[in-house]
Structure 1
Amino acid sequence: MKKGILSAVFMLAAVISTQAQAPKTPVAPKPADSTAAKKPASKIKSYDQVITKEAKSSKGLFTTHQVGDKYYFEIPKKHLGKDMLLVSQIAKIPNGLGGGYVNAGTSSHEQLIVWEKFQEKILIKIKSYAAVAPDSLPISLSVKANNYEPTLYAFDIETYSKDTSSIVIDVTKFYTSDIPAMSGLDASLRETHKVRNLDASRSFIRSVKSFPLNIEVLQDFTYNATKPSATAYTETISMQMNQSMILLPEKPMKPRLFDQRVGYFTQKQFDYGSEELKSDQKTYIQRWRLEPKDMAAYKRGELVEPIKPIVYYLDPATPMKLRKHMKKGVENWQKAFEVAGFKNAIICKDPPSKEEDPDFSPEDIRYSVIRYVASTTRNAMGPSVSDPRSGEIIESDIIWYHNHLRSYRNRFLIETAASNPKARTLETSEEDIGEMMEMVISHEVGHALGFPHNMGASSSYEVENYRKADFTQKEGISASIMDYARFNYIAQPEDKGVRYIRQMGPYDNYAVNWGYRLLPDAKTPEDEVLTLNKWVEAKAGDARFRFGNQGTTFDPSSQTEDIGNDPVRASTYAVKNLKYVAKNLASWTSNKTNDYEDLIELNDELLSAWSRYVGHVTTTVGGVYEQYAKPNQQIASYVVVPKATQQTAVKWLLANAFSNVDWLINREVVTHHMMGYTDRIRSLQASPLNRMLSFETFARLDNSGLSTANAYKTVDLCQDLRQGLWSELATGAKMDGFRRNIQKAYVERMKYLLTEQMTPSPFAREFYNVSQSDVRSIVRGELKTLLASLQTAKGKYADKETAYHLADCIDRIQTALNPTKAQK
């Protein structure tokens, strides 16, 4: 031990001696390891550390992995920067969410995304084609600088594939977080249901599936909410969301410019490369990509099959007896595509067996499927997914809810049984119910082909034609399957051989040809416009080829659930039929089944039908006909409904909606079920009254004087309603409970008009300053006139109900006219 110490001392002395003898020149310090000092060790692990032997993997657009409770995407570098579509769709929701206006299958968000690499992160960027300019133009730099794309999410790179061609990221947190841009609960729903937060402990990924062109992620989300739509005591909202990520075509389809005279769903862009003095808004239609196998034959006008037809597969869950009707509903569109030059353009197939197609899955974007949903919902839907760059429809799934045929059975009976003996039963024939289903599928497929509702199609036919067998059997009951014209409710008991169920119409052929016929010689969308215009103008003046927008609330020729070109005459026939049905409803239902369930359900349907017929007439008052046109057509876009027509409508409503409603009372239903029946009828009567006595109606009536000398004015309407609703004051005639109710509703509505302001609405096109208009003056004048009549008439009535009613109305009017005095 000591020997070792002595050796160390001698060595140290030698070193010191050497240093002392060395020259005193400066020695440069050894540079520090800058990498070790400043750069932290990489967090990227080896592939085997991340994707372990326990991983459950699936190959597709991205290879996906599940390792325990974590999910990974293995993203090929070749897909970085490629356009993809992220579609957020509600898969399952609790009852009553959003007041029942939100459904399973509803798409809450569709957004274009790209995956980008930045340092050791992968970003999802939301990309927009709302503002575009060719890269060759200098302005493209400004478009990019002023439309910087937001980052939806940032992921750490976990590892690289063994050949380094792919990047692996952990997507677990991304798909279990409450990301507003992917949520099924928007701000309005969160406020309505008082959603506090997402409960992470009850939220998870249910499944991840990868297919060649898409990835599907099913999420279970549970929220803490003070006012949930169902099971309130749980303070919980649970729902499922489906997130679809879809690879878009490398080369976008050549788009077709939209023309509002032909109804199509659309995509919009602002083109900053335009030669115009402003950004040029371009709107493209949504449609499938159809290309002929033989272009030369197609140019010669021959029918040619498409390279890739539109194919729908039936859900394996579809009942066998319904499959033929679904197939026919899809393939009804084949004739329309033949008009556009394509043979067998749309096909419906049975679900393939495992042997036929082992890869078949309804979630695979390569397959469009008619989903058969076991649900009590009475509905069907035809959503589609489209490329925002061009409007190309990529895929669509038609959704059919099991109970939907129950609604059609009910309406078939209520609307046609007066003249159609086959409808006077709860056991609708398989032939009729199958045809109804066929037409519903055709309607929903129409949506999936790019067509919105055409609510003007049914008004192209004269009312009297609906009573003719030859006409209805050939033309159906609407010029388009895309109208809500389900049944022929006009035909009378003496009319024989008429058609009752809707069918495809001439507008459908026309719209398919306009949107899908190729113009091979046109190089750009703009090159097509001249030809497309000629096609439209060739049909101008023929009401069968007019498109009527669903969004209008003022056009009596473009309404939902109506048929015929004259709402007053059509509703006269319809109400006459309803009265026949009302008398016989018990004998067709409860008397046969010894049960009141169907009677009660159908009676409620009858009241709804009556309300619809009344509503069709109501739209005529303050009505304006809307027709899209271009300047060279020299057609007025807006035409006010003539004064005489509006006055006729008011008289009809006074006679059929505001009086003589005793026939609506079904004694069997009142006796055995419904409480509040009187109030239900009161509500149905008050609705059309409030629509007429509204600021929106008054605004249109005021404007109508600018386009026609003999206009129906606000003062005319108010005077006609006052005299009609209170006609008993002059004669001393008896007022029943329904009459007294509608009179009180009138007084309350006039009070509202005297005190409230018009609220801007996204659904109304009219807005004006009520306080500075004639509205208050007219309402005040009408109330004073009515007050004088009430004070004169109050002594004429001996029965206490009417006497008290008149005295009450007097007090209400006095309070409305002099609120300050009433408070004192």
Structure 2
Amino acid sequence: MIHRDTIQLTAIAAAALLLTACATPGTPPTAAAPAAPAAQAPANAASGAPGAPGATSPMTAARPPVDPTAPKPFAEVSRDTKRQDGLFPILRKDEKVWIEIPRAMLNKPFLFTINITSSIGERGFYASQMGPDVMAEWRRVGNTVQLIALNTKFRGEGGGKRAVEEAFSPSLLAAGPVASADHPERKSFLVDAGLLLTDIPGMSTRLEMAYRLPYAVDRGNSYFENTRADAQLSTLGAKVHYFTPRIPAPPLVPPPVPVPTPPQATPDARSMFMGFVYNFRALPEQPAATRRADGRLGHFTESYTDLGDDLKPNPRVHNVNRWRLEKKDPSAALSEPVQPIVYWMDKNIPPKYRPAVEAGILEWNKAFEKIGFKNAVVAKQQPDDADWDNMDASHASIRWFVGSDVGFAIGPSHVDPRTGEILDADIGMSDVFSRGGRAFIAEDAPRGLHDHGTGEVASIGEAHALAALNQGWRDSRNATYCTYAQDAAAEMSFALDVLESRGEIAPDSPEADAFIQARIKDVIMHEVGHTLGLKHNFKASTQVTQAQLKDKAWTDANGLSASVMDYNAYNIPLQGEAPTTYNNTTLGAYDYWAIEYAYKQVPKETEAAELLRIASQNTLPGHAYADDYDAGGFGPIDGMDPLINRFDLGDDPLAYYKKRLKLTQELWARVQSRKPEAGDDPLRQRRQLQSGFSQLGRASELVGKYVGGMITNRDVPGAATPAQRPVDPAKQREALRFLATGLFSADSFRFKPEFLTSITADYVDMNNRGFVSIPAAVSRVQLAALDRLLQAQTAIRLIELPNYVPASQRKGLISIHEVYSTVQSSIWSELKTGAEIDPLRRNLQREYLRRLQANLTRGGAASGQFAEAYAVLRLNAVQLQSELRAAQGKGSIETRAHLAESLDLISTVLKASMTRT
């Protein structure tokens, strides 16, 4: 008797034999022994194998061939990972990180931002900086995932959207292979987050700019430190390693252009880590209402070109950048907002400065209360043991950072590019105040007093430019690079030096600490203003009269300026004057006005009329406005209005500069009369010298703005006030006299030999051991004005001034001949008096000749708009040649040598000019 199990096993064996025979190359199917038909059917049904050559079971479909390039199953890739659910869930296993992308989120825009959490601490590379932002989307092309930056600069809002998209390309930020097949339920797939560990921020270019070395990303030694995700935000914190294979040896012969040194703040100049926070933030489902900008006020804008309507004369659109601020109770005169603007104070802020930082933040509630919002701005302190980074895109913050050569604050923001709604802001503020300001200004950023022969004096300016570049792809849209903290520290240093020298305030006293606290509040008010959407206003300081500045009751209540968005100087009384408020402490009239325009809740149907009414208040006291470009300092934009300046005070800037000269001379006199004592800071005298020269250097350039200057006024076409008018001739002449008798005079820079010989160095620290060169510092002060007076823009405006004045009023106008002859006669006054020429004056005269030579011999100078100025300048040069001939052989040997050299130079210049012509 044969058992049933035995029969079944026999049938299976027979079927296996048949399959083996069919699969053997060269073996015909008939070679295999046939199996019993009764046993074969169930065996085939169980195994799924074909019953005969070419036959297929009707119960089983044929399996397609396996694609070796197909992504692995989701479950296999995600096995043993820790998952953080959010906008884009983040999965992590050991050092590996994946981003989960739902298919529904493909081609759906979001805000992609990068913030800089850690850096190298020098030359513009600092921690706690906001980086680039862009509207982006994920795209899938086959098994490749692309992170695409969408082009929002050009739009077709009125139609023609497809034509615009075809005309202007987006940009690829990163790409990588799909890491998994779709999740069966969530319909999402994984991508390796390592696609972000490339040079998306473009730091390699910035490093090359700073050091002229080819740094690149080392992907193998870059990694993710932390991750976080919620419904609106997914954040990945990365440490990216930049390296260069080798540092080249310095050239044997110094090059004509100084080569920057390699990084000094890193242990090894070939290697550095930078920390980035990559933020994927959901855009608001309901876009915020937009508000058009008005040029009579200064707001940052989201600007783009709308090519959807060819009937508009100007296709540019400018929407005000502002937070979404809505009343909980729209009918209430004063209501709390649905969502306040919350600023988190970084745990790195020293505890003793936190009250001043908080006060600077909350000061803005005064402006919001005036338009019906209670507690619109809130300040919160990050706990000292917090394990989260407030540089992610969900926390507006005040960040405190340090660096080896840093002293600035910056207030950038990230916005929804569709509307201008501010979504995030991170104010970066360096520790310049915690070091008292003075140490930084003198020790880390020498400006002309010391000559170390290193070619590094300009590095701080380069650092500013590089830090501004860290804003990245759309920097010019959202932020103006702000040096207020550094410059305010210089102002504070000068004020403390003057008051300490008078004995009115002691170093390291509670009064000195109060100075620092007040300045921190002032700078925080300024930077918070930027993150609320306000630009600089460099005309606000002129809205306060000189009499008001001397009235302490008035300044305590109203501040020193019409706006905290100006660069406001210290209000230091002259010796013998009554004390007053030293620095700006509160919002001004302009700040209330600008906040009202941006944030006042207005019904949609009356919004246009109400905004027009608000903007039309530009002629009210305290509402004057002018921005960075009006102030000048941007390439060919020299700033032609002497009332628009950084760091002046009062309605008569020229009077302010004269006062600063007197205060500087008082400081230097007191410093020279005080004998150094044991225990003094060895760098104290250097700092006090530098403090005064910094003040006069700024005054020198700004006084020159009066000559050939134009008073400007921001208003709409048809306004009663002229858009521009020439500076009063009497004021121009007053400025020339001040330069001639003040800053061009050697008597303004006299120092006792006993004082100069007593200046010490810090022999423990290698810094600041250089020779103190008074002539070099004086030259930098004087040349700021001289360059301003002799530049082409000033000449062209002087020539064209009569065009702006009715014929009946042209008598008494200042001419280019008067300016050139006044400058020349004041600089060379000794030729008429026969006096001995002081070494400081000889330096100034040499610099004048160099500029004369440049203007008379450069190509094309005798043509174009400068032609008339060239002719007058050459006529003055001929006159100077005659006077130099008459003065030959007079004075000391040094004076005679100088006169002979000067005559030879100007004769050569005139001959070369005539030959060229």
Q: TM-score, normalised by structure 2?
A: 0.77
Q: How far is the alpha carbon of 1:679 from its aligned partner?
A: 1.6
* 1:166-181 map, 5 Å: 166-172=188-194, 174-179=195-200
* 1:745-764 map, 5 Å: 745-756=847-858
Residue aligned with 1:810, SS = helix
With over 3 angstroms needed to count, the CA separation of the structure-2 counterparts of 1:492 and 1:36, relative to structure 1, is: same
Does the Cα contact within 8 Å between 1:589 and 1:598 map onto a contact in 2? Answer: no
Residue aligned with 1:158, SS = coil
Which residue does 1:425 correspond to in 2?
507
* Counterpart-to-counterpart distance in 2, 1:57 and 1:586: 69
Amino acid at match of 1:128: N
Which residue does 2:832 correspond to in 1?
730
With over 3 angstroms needed to count, the CA separation of the structure-2 counterparts of 1:359 and 1:565, relative to structure 1, is: same
Q: Tell me if 1:582 matches 2:676.
A: no
Which string of whole-angstrom CA distances, capped at 9 and with x for unpartnered residues, describes residues 215-269 of structure 1?
2333323242755542499663635152333222122211110111111111112
Does the Cα contact within 8 Å between 1:61 and 1:210 map onto a contact in 2? Answer: no
Q: Tell me if 1:472 matches 2:555.
A: yes
Which residue does 1:743 correspond to in 2?
845
Q: Tell me if 1:147 matches 2:180.
A: no
Q: How far is the alpha carbon of 1:192 from its aligned partner?
A: 5.5
Q: How far is the alpha carbon of 1:326 from its aligned partner?
A: 1.5
Match of 2:98 among 37, 55, 72: 72
Q: Tell me if 1:704 matches 2:801.
A: yes
Which residue does 2:242 correspond to in 1?
222
With over 3 angstroms needed to count, the CA separation of the structure-2 counterparts of 1:396 and 1:138, relative to structure 1, is: closer
Structure 1 window deviating more from structure 2 (256-265 vs 550-559): it is 550-559
Which string of whole-angstrom CA distances, capped at 9 and with x for unpartnered residues, describes residues 171-209 of structure 1?
31x233234xx213447x635532324152675134242
Which residue does 1:285 correspond to in 2?
320
With over 3 angstroms needed to count, the CA separation of the structure-2 counterparts of 1:201 and 1:369, relative to structure 1, is: closer
Does the Cα contact within 8 Å between 1:303 and 1:342 map onto a contact in 2? Answer: yes
Q: Tell me if 1:316 matches 2:347.
A: yes
Q: TM-score, normalised by structure 1?
A: 0.86
Which residue does 2:145 correspond to in 1?
122
Residue aligned with 2:235, SS = strand
Amino acid at match of 1:569: A
Q: Tell me if 1:804 matches 2:804.
A: no
* 1:374-523 map, 5 Å: 374-375=402-403, 377-405=406-434, 406-407=436-437, 411-412=491-492, 414-415=494-495, 418=498, 422-423=504-505, 425-427=507-509, 428-489=511-572, 491-503=573-585, 504-522=587-605
Q: How far is the alpha carbon of 1:334 from its aligned partner?
A: 0.6
Structure 1 window deviating more from structure 2 (73-82 vs 417-426): it is 417-426
* Counterpart-to-counterpart distance in 2, 1:426 and 1:11: 107
Q: How far is the alpha carbon of 1:748 from its aligned partner?
A: 0.2
Q: Tell me if 1:603 matches 2:689.
A: yes
Does the Cα contact within 8 Å between 1:286 and 1:392 map onto a contact in 2? Answer: yes
Which residue does 1:781 correspond to in 2?
875
* Counterpart-to-counterpart distance in 1, 2:30 and 2:779: 114
Which residue does 2:614 correspond to in 1?
535
Amino acid at match of 2:401: V
With over 3 angstroms needed to count, the CA separation of the structure-2 counterparts of 1:550 and 1:820, relative to structure 1, is: closer
* Counterpart-to-counterpart distance in 1, 2:271 and 2:909: 44
* Counterpart-to-counterpart distance in 1, 2:82 and 2:796: 64
Q: Tell me if 1:85 matches 2:111.
A: yes
* 1:262-277 map, 5 Å: 262-274=297-309, 276-277=311-312
Which residue does 1:19 correspond to in 2?
none
* Counterpart-to-counterpart distance in 2, 1:616 and 1:772: 23
Residue aligned with 2:867, SS = coil
Instruction: List gaps (5 residues or longer) in structure 1.
Output: 14-28, 760-767
Q: Tell me if 1:715 matches 2:817.
A: yes
With over 3 angstroms needed to count, the CA separation of the structure-2 counterparts of 1:813 and 1:104, relative to structure 1, is: farther
Does the Cα contact within 8 Å between 2:885 and 2:903 map onto a contact in 1? Answer: yes
* 1:101-250 map, 5 Å: 103-134=126-157, 138-159=159-180, 160-161=182-183, 163-172=185-194, 174-179=195-200, 182-186=201-205, 190-191=208-209, 193-198=211-216, 200=218, 203-212=221-230, 213-224=233-244, 229-231=262-264, 236=270, 238=272, 240-242=274-276, 243-250=278-285
Q: How far is the alpha carbon of 1:774 from its aligned partner?
A: 1.7
Amino acid at match of 1:285: V
Which string of whole-angstrom CA distances, capped at 9 and with x for unpartnered residues, describes residues 796-819 of structure 1?
32x001000111111111222224
With over 3 angstroms needed to count, the CA separation of the structure-2 counterparts of 1:65 and 1:817, relative to structure 1, is: farther
* Counterpart-to-counterpart distance in 1, 2:661 and 2:860: 34
* Counterpart-to-counterpart distance in 1, 2:904 and 2:772: 30
* Counterpart-to-counterpart distance in 1, 2:645 and 2:828: 30
Amino acid at match of 1:660: A
Instruction: List gaps (5 residues or longer) in structure 2.
Output: 1-20, 22-26, 33-53, 56-60, 249-259, 438-487, 633-638, 761-770
Which residue does 1:24 correspond to in 2?
none
Give the total of aligned pairs: 770
Which string of whole-angstrom CA distances, capped at 9 and with x for unpartnered residues, describes residues 670-714 of structure 1?
543443332222222222211211112222223323212354333
Amino acid at match of 1:439: D
Match of 2:680 among 584, 594, 603: 594
Q: Tell me if 1:339 matches 2:370.
A: yes
Which residue does 2:722 correspond to in 1?
636
Which residue does 2:6 correspond to in 1?
none
Match of 2:909 among 802, 816, 823: 816
Residue aligned with 1:633, SS = coil
Does the Cα contact within 8 Å between 1:815 and 1:822 map onto a contact in 2? Answer: no
* Counterpart-to-counterpart distance in 2, 1:802 and 1:652: 26
Q: Tell me if 1:549 matches 2:627.
A: yes
Match of 1:330 among 361, 368, 372: 361
With over 3 angstroms needed to count, the CA separation of the structure-2 counterparts of 1:821 and 1:369, relative to structure 1, is: closer
* Counterpart-to-counterpart distance in 2, 1:451 and 1:168: 41
Amino acid at match of 2:583: I
* Counterpart-to-counterpart distance in 2, 1:328 and 1:486: 20
Amino acid at match of 1:207: E
Residue aligned with 2:628, SS = coil
Which residue does 2:14 correspond to in 1?
none
Does the Cα contact within 8 Å between 1:562 and 1:616 map onto a contact in 2? Answer: no
With over 3 angstroms needed to count, the CA separation of the structure-2 counterparts of 1:777 and 1:806, relative to structure 1, is: same
With over 3 angstroms needed to count, the CA separation of the structure-2 counterparts of 1:463 and 1:191, relative to structure 1, is: same
Q: How far is the alpha carbon of 1:331 from its aligned partner?
A: 0.6
Does the Cα contact within 8 Å between 2:665 and 2:748 map onto a contact in 1? Answer: no
* Counterpart-to-counterpart distance in 2, 1:145 and 1:313: 42
Residue aligned with 1:114, SS = strand
The alignment-based identity, stated in percent, is 23
